[in-house]
Amino acid sequence: MNQARPAPSMRRSPRLALAIALTLAAGSPQAGDTPWRDSIQWQGATARMQADGDGWSLQPKTGAATRIAAQPMRSDTASPLFDGLFALAQQELTRAQVESISDSAYDNGRPIPCSCFETGEKWRYVWTRDLSFAADLALAQLRPERTRNALRFKLSDLRAGTPRGTYVVQDTGSGGSWPISSDRVVWFLAARGLLDAPAGDVDAARFKEEVWQALTDTLAQDRQFVFDADMGLYRGETSFLDWREQSYPRWTANDVAFLAQSFALSTNVLHHQALRLAERMARERGDARADGYARQAQALATQIGHRFWREERGLYMSYIGTAAHPVPFEAYDLLGLSLLVDSGIAPESRARRALATYPMLDSGSPVIWPQQPDIAIYHNRAIWPFVSAYSLRAARKLDDAGRIAHEIRSLMRGAALAGSNMENYELVTQAVHVDDGALSGPVVNSPRQLWSVAGHLQMVMEGVFGLGADGRVEPKIPADVVPMLFGRRDRISLRMPGREIVLVRPAVIEGDLLVAGDIEREGARDTVRLVSKRGVVRQKSTPLDAAAFAPATPDAPALIQHETSWRIGIPANQRLYVDGTLRSDASSSIRSIDLPMRDAQQCMSLTRVERGIESLHSPTRCVGADLAIDGEWPRQWRAPTAGRYAFSVDFTNTHGPINTGITAAVKTLVAQCEGMDEQRGTLVMPHGAAQQRSNAVVIGVPANASCRFALRDGVNMSYLSHNARYTGGAGGAEGPLNEAAIGALHAVPLKESPAR
């Protein structure tokens, strides 16, 4: 791996940057000769763009030239490269518009009618996550009717189970899909851009009602089965980062129960945004639930800030451990951070610090940091253009001129060199494939990937010309990209059907960011006179090598019973965490500590520290009294002492492979104990070949109370009518399936709960 270098825009001193900006503004010869005008040179390769009649011709790094036709929207700048790539993104968006879709796992690969978008050249189906992020970036604004159609395709009623309603589909995924993966609420991120439709648009009005129904039903279902009241967070896998070995510990390759029980930043931010949308729509409708949604959103925002911020690193963690062992993870991802910044949840000082701290290379920003060793290139060691587009949006919110310029260049470079808006790129080379033996990759890649196309469109429309989804024009153009965009010109423009935006640069540039000054509106034309502004002063932080690897994950802690204690050996350069907190920091020597034996559960894990970077956690090991309750259901048990107990079950779910499917088993554990009201909670049992232990339901029990436990069916994705088409595994055409082979019920005493 090449050593990371700060991007050129970040290395200049403020005085030098100002001098360069003043020289360019004066119209020196260099202003029109920048290589970004009609070509890009990168690591010995060149891509060229040439105006060709009404269109353009792009010669990428390799392969034949691509003809790009004139498009309905047209940017007019000093850079044929910029203008041609914008046209290319529109051309690829047109190719993504289809009247039928297909996937081998649905209807045996037969075409399914849908006037919508396919996900990419290699992905001919509509996936909730991909579509929703693409719609939020650009599609809802550019193709509202088709976007509504595509979003509707991902709504479903129940063919079995209760309560009946309208729900967003969580696609096939880890351990049998939802609730192991629980980011389907990203659908509402897309839908919110389609709610303010012109009067008289009957279909838009109908869609708004569909959004409200799906929003209230989906939020209620997630609150029941995914929300952890003790942690104040929603459980489940990270959004988008859904190939667990890429960004989670390698031991999760055969154990997705951890994913189902852990908490992810991105997934919680998406739930927060859905709750805020529910509050907004409820107030518009005069619905009494508005205040409740507001309280839930505020409480969730508080817990996100409390649980995910890692002060010593100055970053928000991508995910943390389980409720039993909520440890910090040295794992960070750019999408989660960007969504957080854009949501406004993070205090401005933390948001600025985190975005400034998150590492980048000249090629672009990695989607995760640090990189994981001995893992092939995909999310690991990679740039994803749609994530770069969200990073650009976050940078605009914070007036971070350096990062805005950085992401604009990365998005342009990737598309130009590849000749298409690809799914992803290798981190250091920004190539579509790098040969690295067993680690070669990206292992999966596709041209004209829908969310990459949308990201490029967003970069031009919002990132440069400042056109927001609400129609307002708020450009924020870094002085570093003025030579490329303006050359010797004093103005550039974006022409759209029914609207034109003209940006006029100032005669002298005195800051590092150009923003809107006076705006003159004449008919459909907005003429924006730009003025100079000093962007954010980037906070000083320890530079992070974007390509740096984390140490290998250690094995689970080894314990030896020693009189009345558990003796735990701690290898050199490893940290020990107990019950979610650091118990013993890394040391150059081998050592051990004694953990007093007690009935109450104690959970521990190890991490390795090398070169100032911490590994991901080892498997968790828990000790304490474990009372097994066998027999037929309902099962009887008498509490030996008063207190809080964690109840879980042994299970085996072989109804699908560990990496996909729709048949994660979801049951409700119902407890009726003497002297208490009925208590209940959710047990999640994902796919897996071996016996596993489910998550735990925590119940407080009086001393010597007799309790009766029963299991009731919850719901999973096989209950949705949408999945009657599923032919890629169990739970599809043959009907819903929500079963697992269940063994012992375990009662484990817990220590007193600390105040949240």
List the single range of 41-50, 305-314, 583-592, 745-754 with lowest mean pLDDT.
Answer: 745-754
Q: Comparing C-alpha atoms, which of 556, 543, 541, 542 is closest to residue 608?
A: 556
Are 607 and 644 found together in one domain? no
Q: What does the pLDDT look like over 304-338, one tens digit per residue?
A: 999 999 999 999 999 999 999 999 999 999 999 99
- pLDDT at residue 14 above 70? no
What are the tens digits of pLDDT across the range 390-421?
A: 999 999 999 999 999 999 999 999 999 999 99
Q: Which residues does 210 contact at the CB level (< 8 Å), separation at least 6?
A: 152, 155, 166
Q: What is the pLDDT of residue 732?
A: 98
Integer Cα distance of 665 and 716 in angstroms: 7
pLDDT, tens digit, 9 for 90 and up, residues 654-668 = 999 999 999 999 999
**293 located within any domain:** yes
Q: What angle do CA 384, 356, 542 make, to 5 degrees?
A: 110
Same-domain status, 595 and 696 = no
Q: Is residue 716 domain-shared with residue 605, that is, in the same domain?
A: no
Distance (Å, rounded) from C-alpha 269 to C-alpha 307?
A: 12
Secondary structure class of 702 (helix, strand, coil): coil
Residue 459 in domain: yes
Which of 610, 608, 606 minimizes the C-alpha distance to 618? 606
Q: Cα separations (Å) of 91 from 319, 368, 386?
A: 37, 30, 17
pLDDT of 725 above 80: yes
User: Side-chain half-sphere of 131: how many Cα atoms within 13 Å?
Assistant: 32
Query: Are the C-beta atoms of residues 358 and 369 closer than 8 Å to each other?
Result: yes
Print the SS3 string covering 237-297.
Answer: CCCCCCCHHHHCCHHHHHCCHHHHHCEEHHHHHHHHHHHHHHHHHHHHHCCCCHHHHHHHH
Token duo for residue 156: 């479903």
Split at pLDDT 50, 70, 90, the class of 271 is very high
Same domain, 254 and 336: yes
Segment holding 476, helix H or strand E: strand 476-478
The answer to whether position 289 is within a domain reads yes
Predicted pLDDT of residue 537? 66
The pLDDT, as a whole number, for residue 753 is 62
- Mean pLDDT, range 502-529, rounded to an integer: 96
How far is the C-alpha of 177 from the C-alpha of 549, rounded, in Å?
Answer: 29
Is residue 201 assigned to a domain?
Answer: yes
The angle formed by the CA atoms of residues 36, 139 and 116, to the nearest 5 degrees, is 125
> Between vectors from CA 499 to CA 495 and to CA 500, what angle results, nearest 5°?
45
In this predicted structure, what is the pLDDT of residue 53?
Answer: 87
Q: Is 523 buried (19+), middle (13-18) or exposed (0-12) by CB count in 10 A? A: exposed
Amino acid at 41: Q
What is the pLDDT of the chain when averaged over all its residues?
A: 93
* 639, two tokens: 């509490």
The domain that holds 678 is classified in CATH as: 2.60.120.260
pLDDT in tens, 165-223: 999 999 999 999 999 999 999 999 999 999 987 888 999 999 999 999 999 999 999 99
Together in a domain, 596 and 636: no
Calculate Rg over the CA atoms of the chain.
27
Question: Looking at residue 534, what is its pLDDT?
Answer: 86
Written as six digits, the tokens of 139 are 């599609």
Q: Answer whether the bond into residue 543 is a cis peptide, omega within 30°.
A: no
> Can you tell me which residue has the tokens 């048949």?
663
Considering 566, 583, 615, which residue would you say is the last residue of a domain? 615
> Does residue 39 form part of some domain?
no
For residue 509, being part of any structural domain is answered with no
Of 453, 484, 515, the one marking the end of a domain is 484
455 and 310 within one domain: yes
Q: Is the pLDDT of residue 541 over 70?
A: no
Same domain, 143 and 199: yes
Looking at residue 20, what is its pLDDT?
35
Q: What is the pLDDT of residue 504?
A: 98
d(CA 340, CA 293): 19
CA–CA dist 133, 119 (Å, integer): 11
Beta-carbon contacts of 754 under 8 Å, excluding residues fewer than 6 positions away, are: none
Nearest CA to 578 out of 617, 539, 630, 634 is that of: 617
Cβ–Cβ under 8 Å, residues 192 and 245? no
What is the pLDDT at residue 501? 98
pLDDT at 33: 43
* Residue 30 confidence class, pLDDT cut points 50, 70, 90: very low
Question: What does pTM read for this prediction?
Answer: 0.95
Instruction: Give me the pLDDT at residue 198, please.
Output: 80
Same domain, 659 and 572: no
Determine the structural domain holding residue 740 and report its residue range. Answer: 627-749
**Bigger pLDDT: 34 vs 165:** 165
| 670 is a domain residue | yes
Q: Are strands 525-533 and 155-156 parallel, antiparallel or unpaired?
A: unpaired
Is the same domain home to 428 and 577?
no
Q: Is residue 160 a contact partner of residue 167, using CB atoms and an 8 Å limit?
A: no
Q: Verify that 579 and 662 share a domain, yes or no.
A: no
Read off the pLDDT of residues 58-106 as tens digits, 9 standing for 90 and up: 999 999 999 999 999 999 999 999 999 999 999 999 999 999 999 999 9
Q: What is the pLDDT of residue 658?
A: 96
* 602 and 687 co-located in one domain: no
340 DSSP 8-state letter: H
Task: Tell which of 431, 464, 484 closes a domain.
Answer: 484
For residue 34, name the pLDDT band (cuts at 50, 70, 90): low
> Is a pLDDT exceeding 70 seen at residue 52?
yes
**DSSP code per residue over 529-578:** EEEEE----PPP-----TTPBPPPPPPPPEEEEETTEEEEEE-TTEEEEE
Alpha-carbon distance of 151 to 130, in angstroms, equals: 11
How many residues in total does the chain contain?
756
Question: 478 is written with which tokens?
Answer: 């870094």
Would you say residue 23 has pLDDT above 50? no
DSSP secondary structure code for residue 370 in this structure: S
Q: Does residue 366 have a cis peptide bond before it, meaning omega lies within 30 degrees of 0?
A: no
Q: Which of 185, 182, 177 is nearest to 155 (CA)?
A: 185
198 & 92 share domain: yes
Distance CA 464, CA 475 (A): 6
**What's the pLDDT at 543?**
84
C-alpha 194/C-alpha 44 separation (Å) is 44
| 1, part of any domain | no
* Structure confidence at residue 72 (pLDDT): 97
Q: State how many domains the chain has.
A: 3
